[in-house]
Structure 1
Protein backbone atom coordinates (compact mmCIF):
# COMPACT_ATOMS: atom_id res chain seq x y z
CA UNK A 1 0.00 0.00 0.00
CA UNK A 2 1.40 3.39 -0.92
CA UNK A 3 -0.22 6.61 0.11
CA UNK A 4 1.14 8.44 -2.94
CA UNK A 5 -0.53 5.92 -5.25
CA UNK A 6 -3.82 6.26 -3.33
CA UNK A 7 -3.71 10.06 -3.60
CA UNK A 8 -3.01 9.79 -7.34
CA UNK A 9 -6.01 7.49 -7.77
CA UNK A 10 -8.28 9.88 -5.87
CA UNK A 11 -7.03 12.80 -7.97
CA UNK A 12 -7.63 10.83 -11.18
CA UNK A 13 -11.18 9.98 -10.10
CA UNK A 14 -11.90 13.60 -9.21
CA UNK A 15 -10.92 14.71 -12.72
CA UNK A 16 -12.71 11.92 -14.63
CA UNK A 17 -16.15 12.51 -16.09
CA UNK A 18 -18.90 10.25 -14.80
CA UNK A 19 -20.12 7.61 -17.26
CA UNK A 20 -23.63 7.34 -18.63
CA UNK A 21 -24.04 3.80 -17.30
CA UNK A 22 -22.59 1.36 -14.77
CA UNK A 23 -19.31 -0.38 -15.62
CA UNK A 24 -15.96 -1.65 -14.35
CA UNK A 25 -12.91 0.60 -14.44
CA UNK A 26 -9.19 0.06 -13.99
CA UNK A 27 -9.55 0.69 -10.22
CA UNK A 28 -13.11 -0.36 -9.39
CA UNK A 29 -16.38 0.65 -10.98
CA UNK A 30 -18.38 3.72 -11.96
CA UNK A 31 -21.96 4.67 -12.62
CA UNK A 32 -24.04 7.71 -13.34
CA UNK A 33 -22.70 10.38 -10.99
CA UNK A 34 -20.02 8.35 -9.17
CA UNK A 35 -16.76 6.42 -9.16
CA UNK A 36 -15.77 3.82 -6.55
CA UNK A 37 -12.17 2.62 -6.32
CA UNK A 38 -10.62 -0.25 -4.43
CA UNK A 39 -7.35 1.32 -3.29
CA UNK A 40 -6.02 -1.79 -1.51
CA UNK A 41 -7.27 -5.30 -0.78
CA UNK A 42 -6.01 -7.69 1.88
CA UNK A 43 -5.86 -11.45 1.65
CA UNK A 44 -8.88 -13.45 2.77
CA UNK A 45 -9.21 -15.04 6.22
CA UNK A 46 -10.54 -18.55 5.49
CA UNK A 47 -7.80 -20.23 7.56
CA UNK A 48 -7.55 -17.60 10.30
CA UNK A 49 -8.34 -17.96 14.01
CA UNK A 50 -9.14 -14.24 14.24
CA UNK A 51 -5.71 -12.98 15.29
CA UNK A 52 -4.41 -12.11 11.82
CA UNK A 53 -7.78 -10.58 10.93
CA UNK A 54 -7.54 -8.14 13.87
CA UNK A 55 -4.00 -7.13 12.87
CA UNK A 56 -5.03 -6.55 9.26
CA UNK A 57 -8.11 -4.61 10.35
CA UNK A 58 -5.89 -2.33 12.44
CA UNK A 59 -3.52 -1.89 9.46
CA UNK A 60 -6.34 -0.91 7.11
CA UNK A 61 -7.80 1.52 9.67
CA UNK A 62 -4.33 3.05 10.07
CA UNK A 63 -3.91 3.35 6.29
CA UNK A 64 -7.32 5.07 6.05
CA UNK A 65 -6.40 7.44 8.87
CA UNK A 66 -3.03 8.33 7.30
CA UNK A 67 -4.65 9.03 3.96
CA UNK A 68 -7.41 11.00 5.70
CA UNK A 69 -4.77 13.23 7.33
CA UNK A 70 -3.40 14.16 3.90
CA UNK A 71 -6.86 14.80 2.50
CA UNK A 72 -7.69 16.89 5.57
CA UNK A 73 -4.67 19.08 4.80
CA UNK A 74 -6.19 19.69 1.36
CA UNK A 75 -9.87 20.14 2.17
CA UNK A 76 -10.23 20.59 5.92
CA UNK A 77 -11.72 18.34 8.57
CA UNK A 78 -13.92 15.57 7.21
CA UNK A 79 -17.33 14.57 8.41
CA UNK A 80 -17.29 11.03 9.72
CA UNK A 81 -20.51 9.74 8.22
CA UNK A 82 -22.05 6.48 9.49
CA UNK A 83 -23.53 4.31 6.77
CA UNK A 84 -25.36 2.03 9.22
CA UNK A 85 -28.64 3.94 8.93
CA UNK A 86 -28.26 4.09 5.14
CA UNK A 87 -27.89 0.29 5.06
CA UNK A 88 -30.84 -0.12 7.44
CA UNK A 89 -33.05 2.15 5.33
CA UNK A 90 -32.09 0.26 2.17
CA UNK A 91 -32.91 -3.06 3.82
CA UNK A 92 -36.30 -1.64 4.81
CA UNK A 93 -37.05 -0.98 1.13
CA UNK A 94 -36.05 2.65 0.71
CA UNK A 95 -34.36 3.34 -2.61
CA UNK A 96 -30.83 4.54 -1.78
CA UNK A 97 -28.78 5.91 -4.68
CA UNK A 98 -25.33 4.58 -5.49
CA UNK A 99 -22.59 5.02 -4.50
CA UNK A 100 -24.16 5.26 -1.03
CA UNK A 101 -26.13 2.03 -1.29
CA UNK A 102 -23.12 0.09 -2.56
CA UNK A 103 -20.84 1.52 0.15
CA UNK A 104 -23.35 0.85 2.92
CA UNK A 105 -23.32 -2.87 2.09
CA UNK A 106 -19.79 -3.28 3.52
CA UNK A 107 -18.42 0.02 4.84
CA UNK A 108 -19.64 0.99 8.34
CA UNK A 109 -18.58 4.64 8.04
CA UNK A 110 -16.69 7.00 5.75
CA UNK A 111 -14.59 10.08 6.13
CA UNK A 112 -16.30 12.59 3.86
CA UNK A 113 -15.10 15.80 2.22
CA UNK A 114 -16.72 18.17 -0.26
CA UNK A 115 -14.36 19.71 -2.83
CA UNK A 116 -15.03 21.36 -6.18
CA UNK A 117 -18.66 20.27 -6.23
CA UNK A 118 -17.93 16.61 -5.56
CA UNK A 119 -18.02 14.42 -2.47
CA UNK A 120 -14.95 12.35 -1.66
CA UNK A 121 -15.56 9.40 0.68
CA UNK A 122 -12.89 7.18 2.23
CA UNK A 123 -13.54 4.03 4.22
CA UNK A 124 -12.60 0.45 5.01
CA UNK A 125 -14.81 -2.25 3.53
CA UNK A 126 -15.25 -5.69 5.04
CA UNK A 127 -17.99 -7.97 3.75
CA UNK A 128 -17.66 -10.90 6.15
CA UNK A 129 -15.22 -12.38 8.67
CA UNK A 130 -13.57 -14.66 6.08
CA UNK A 131 -13.38 -12.10 3.29
CA UNK A 132 -10.68 -9.48 2.68
CA UNK A 133 -10.59 -5.90 3.90
CA UNK A 134 -10.52 -3.15 1.29
CA UNK A 135 -9.51 0.47 1.50
CA UNK A 136 -12.09 2.16 -0.72
CA UNK A 137 -12.84 5.63 -1.95
CA UNK A 138 -15.80 7.12 -3.77
CA UNK A 139 -16.00 10.35 -5.72
CA UNK A 140 -19.53 11.48 -6.45
CA UNK A 141 -21.77 14.39 -7.23
CA UNK A 142 -24.66 12.62 -5.46
CA UNK A 143 -25.36 14.01 -1.99
CA UNK A 144 -25.29 11.55 0.92
CA UNK A 145 -28.79 10.37 1.83
Structure 2
Protein backbone atom coordinates (compact mmCIF):
# COMPACT_ATOMS: atom_id res chain seq x y z
CA UNK A 1 0.00 0.00 0.00
CA UNK A 2 1.46 3.37 -0.94
CA UNK A 3 1.77 6.20 1.57
CA UNK A 4 -1.23 8.21 0.26
CA UNK A 5 -3.48 5.14 0.35
CA UNK A 6 -2.27 4.39 3.88
CA UNK A 7 -3.13 7.93 5.02
CA UNK A 8 -6.55 7.78 3.33
CA UNK A 9 -7.28 4.54 5.18
CA UNK A 10 -6.22 6.19 8.47
CA UNK A 11 -8.52 9.14 7.73
CA UNK A 12 -11.42 6.76 7.03
CA UNK A 13 -10.78 5.03 10.38
CA UNK A 14 -10.62 8.43 12.10
CA UNK A 15 -13.95 9.47 10.57
CA UNK A 16 -15.52 6.19 11.76
CA UNK A 17 -14.58 6.86 15.41
CA UNK A 18 -17.34 8.03 17.70
CA UNK A 19 -17.31 11.67 18.74
CA UNK A 20 -18.80 12.46 22.16
CA UNK A 21 -22.60 12.63 21.89
CA UNK A 22 -24.09 16.09 22.16
CA UNK A 23 -20.72 17.74 22.38
CA UNK A 24 -18.28 19.40 20.07
CA UNK A 25 -15.70 16.62 20.47
CA UNK A 26 -12.83 16.11 18.11
CA UNK A 27 -10.04 13.68 17.34
CA UNK A 28 -6.64 14.58 15.89
CA UNK A 29 -4.09 12.05 14.70
CA UNK A 30 -0.57 12.35 13.36
CA UNK A 31 -0.58 10.59 10.00
CA UNK A 32 3.17 10.97 9.55
CA UNK A 33 6.03 12.44 11.57
CA UNK A 34 9.43 13.67 10.43
CA UNK A 35 12.50 14.43 12.46
CA UNK A 36 13.59 18.03 13.13
CA UNK A 37 15.30 19.27 9.99
CA UNK A 38 13.10 17.18 7.68
CA UNK A 39 12.15 19.18 4.58
CA UNK A 40 8.65 20.54 5.14
CA UNK A 41 8.21 20.68 1.34
CA UNK A 42 7.93 16.88 1.33
CA UNK A 43 5.15 17.01 3.92
CA UNK A 44 3.31 19.75 2.04
CA UNK A 45 3.51 17.72 -1.17
CA UNK A 46 2.12 14.71 0.70
CA UNK A 47 -0.69 16.85 2.17
CA UNK A 48 -1.54 18.06 -1.32
CA UNK A 49 -1.62 14.48 -2.66
CA UNK A 50 -3.95 13.37 0.14
CA UNK A 51 -6.08 16.51 -0.31
CA UNK A 52 -6.41 15.82 -4.02
CA UNK A 53 -7.85 12.37 -3.28
CA UNK A 54 -10.19 13.75 -0.62
CA UNK A 55 -11.22 16.52 -2.99
CA UNK A 56 -12.23 13.88 -5.52
CA UNK A 57 -14.53 12.40 -2.83
CA UNK A 58 -16.07 15.54 -1.38
CA UNK A 59 -15.27 18.36 -3.78
CA UNK A 60 -12.33 20.65 -4.26
CA UNK A 61 -11.74 23.25 -1.56
CA UNK A 62 -8.96 25.82 -1.41
CA UNK A 63 -6.63 25.62 1.61
CA UNK A 64 -7.67 27.72 4.59
CA UNK A 65 -4.93 30.07 5.81
CA UNK A 66 -4.55 30.17 9.59
CA UNK A 67 -3.08 33.67 10.07
CA UNK A 68 -6.48 35.29 10.67
CA UNK A 69 -7.31 32.79 13.41
CA UNK A 70 -3.92 33.39 15.08
CA UNK A 71 -4.58 37.14 15.02
CA UNK A 72 -8.05 36.65 16.48
CA UNK A 73 -6.56 34.50 19.26
CA UNK A 74 -3.91 37.14 19.95
CA UNK A 75 -6.70 39.74 20.35
CA UNK A 76 -8.25 37.49 23.01
CA UNK A 77 -11.13 36.17 20.92
CA UNK A 78 -12.36 32.70 21.81
CA UNK A 79 -11.64 30.21 19.01
CA UNK A 80 -13.16 26.77 19.65
CA UNK A 81 -11.14 23.60 19.65
CA UNK A 82 -9.77 21.97 17.63
CA UNK A 83 -9.40 25.09 15.47
CA UNK A 84 -7.47 27.10 18.09
CA UNK A 85 -4.80 24.41 18.46
CA UNK A 86 -4.63 23.72 14.73
CA UNK A 87 -4.10 27.39 13.84
CA UNK A 88 -1.13 27.54 16.21
CA UNK A 89 0.46 24.43 14.67
CA UNK A 90 -0.29 24.89 10.95
CA UNK A 91 -0.15 27.67 8.38
CA UNK A 92 -2.99 26.26 6.29
CA UNK A 93 -5.52 23.46 6.36
CA UNK A 94 -7.53 21.59 3.78
CA UNK A 95 -11.08 21.35 5.15
CA UNK A 96 -14.20 19.44 4.12
CA UNK A 97 -17.60 18.82 5.64
CA UNK A 98 -18.80 15.28 4.93
CA UNK A 99 -21.17 12.93 6.65
CA UNK A 100 -22.03 15.32 9.48
CA UNK A 101 -18.44 16.02 10.53
CA UNK A 102 -15.66 18.36 9.52
CA UNK A 103 -12.33 16.94 8.38
CA UNK A 104 -9.13 18.98 8.28
CA UNK A 105 -5.62 18.00 7.21
CA UNK A 106 -2.52 20.11 7.56
CA UNK A 107 1.21 20.16 8.14
CA UNK A 108 2.35 21.14 11.63
CA UNK A 109 5.71 22.72 10.88
CA UNK A 110 5.58 26.11 12.60
CA UNK A 111 8.12 25.17 15.30
CA UNK A 112 11.52 24.57 13.65
CA UNK A 113 12.81 22.82 16.78
CA UNK A 114 9.96 20.30 16.76
CA UNK A 115 9.19 17.37 14.51
CA UNK A 116 7.02 17.97 11.44
CA UNK A 117 3.63 16.26 11.51
CA UNK A 118 0.99 15.58 8.90
CA UNK A 119 -2.21 15.94 10.93
CA UNK A 120 -5.81 14.90 10.37
CA UNK A 121 -8.67 16.12 12.56
CA UNK A 122 -12.37 15.29 12.68
CA UNK A 123 -14.86 17.40 14.60
CA UNK A 124 -18.49 18.44 14.74
CA UNK A 125 -17.45 22.05 15.38
CA UNK A 126 -17.57 24.17 12.23
CA UNK A 127 -14.49 26.27 11.54
CA UNK A 128 -14.85 29.82 12.87
Once the two structures are superposed, residues 31-50 of structure 1 have per-residue CA deviations (whole angstroms, 9 ceiling, x without a partner) of 942111111110013xxxxx
User: Contact between 2:24 and 2:124, CA under 8 Å: does it hold in 1?
Assistant: no
Q: Aligned pair count?
A: 126
Larger radius of gyration: 1
8 Å Cα contact 1:79/1:113 also seen in 2: no
1-structure distance, mates of 2:93, 2:25: 18
- The CA RMSD over aligned residues, in Å, is 1.7
Moved over 3 A (4+): none
TM-score, normalisation: structure 1: 0.80
Unaligned runs of 5+ in 1: 21-30, 46-52
Structure 2 length as normaliser, TM-score?
0.90
Q: Which residue of 1 aligns with 2:30?
A: 38
Deviations 1:84-110 (A, max 9, x none): 111111122111111100101110110
Greater relative contact order: 1 or 2 (C-alpha under 8 angstroms, separation 6 or more)?
2
